[in-house]
Structure 1
Amino acid sequence: MRFLCDVHISYKLTKFLISKGFESLHVNEILGKSETKDSELCNFANQNNYVIISKDSDFRDSYFVNQTPKKLIKINLGNISNQALIKIFNDHIETIQKLDSKSNFLLEIDKDEINLIEL
Structure 2
Amino acid sequence: MRLLFDANLSYLIIKKLEGIYQNCLHVTKTELPTPAEDIAIWNWSRQNQYMIVSNDEDFYHLSSLYGFPPKVVLLRTGNQSTNQLADLLILHKDDIEQLWASQEYGILEIF
TM-score normalised by L of structure 2: 0.87
One-letter identity of the residue aligned with 1:106: I
Extract structure 1 runs of 4+ deviating beyond 6 A.
none
In structure 2, list runs of 5 or more residues that go unmatched.
none
Higher relative contact order, structure no. (Cα contacts within 8 Å, ≥ 6 residues apart): 2
Aligned residues of 2:67 and 2:106 also touching (Cα < 8 A) = no
Aligned residues: 110
Aligned residues of 1:6 and 1:54 also touching (Cα < 8 A) = yes
State the partner residue of 1:6: 6
Q: Deviations over 1:54-102 (max 9, x none)?
A: 1111111111022255200011111101111111111111221222222
TM-superposed deviation, 1:38: 1.2
State the partner residue of 2:107: 106
TM-score normalised by L of structure 1: 0.82
- The RMSD of aligned alpha carbons is 1.7
In structure 1, list runs of 5 or more residues that go unmatched.
111-119
Identity of aligned residues (%): 30
